[in-house]
Amino acid sequence: MNMSPQRLADYLGHIRDAISRIERYTALLDEQDFLNNELIQDAVLRNFEVIGEARGRIEKHDKPFADAPPELSCTAACQMRNVIAHGYFQLDFRIVWRTVKSDLPRMRDELIRQGDS
């Protein structure tokens, strides 16, 4: 069952907002600053939860859309939600940092392209 276009837009908006927050929170940091700042780590993790939850709902309710753009597939950014929710004490913040710097820019760019089409 496909979700309504408005609901899909809402979930994509949640993902965009979460990416934007993570990018703002980490913009002036290098990896070591991030690894030493628990407040920023917590804020980033919270927004990864939002990304993963929204992406999971899209996948569940709008499979054709979920399968289309590879940059929005359940990459490390989306899978991070499960690690956070179910295995927090196994979380490696170096991996979180790499995900911020590699996956999120691709997801953001794809969301922008989706919005332009």
Long-range contacts of 76-80 (CB under 8 A, 24+ apart): 76/102, 76/103, 77/48, 77/51, 77/52, 77/103, 77/104, 77/107, 78/51, 78/52, 79/52, 80/45, 80/48, 80/51, 80/52
Q: Rank 2-6, 18-22, 100-104 by mean pLDDT and report only the highest.
A: 18-22
Per-residue pLDDT of 43-98, as tens digits, reads 999 999 999 899 888 888 777 766 665 655 556 666 777 777 776 667 899 999 99
pTM: 0.83
pLDDT at 5: 74
Look at residues 107, 104, 108, 96 and name the one whose alpha carbon lies nearest to residue 31: 96
91 vs 29, which has greater pLDDT? 29
Which residues are CB-contacts of 45 (< 8 A; sequence separation ≥ 6)? 80, 84, 91, 96
Q: How far is CA 39 from CA 16, 57, 100, in A?
A: 21, 28, 16
Q: State yes or no: pLDDT of 13 exceeds 60.
A: yes
- Tokens for 34? 């991030």
Q: State yes or no: pLDDT of 32 exceeds 90.
A: yes
pLDDT at 107: 85
Q: What is the chain's alpha carbon radius of gyration, rounded to the nearest angstrom? A: 14
Q: What is the mean pLDDT of residues 30-34?
A: 99
pLDDT at 39: 98
| Residues assigned a catalytic role | 81, 86
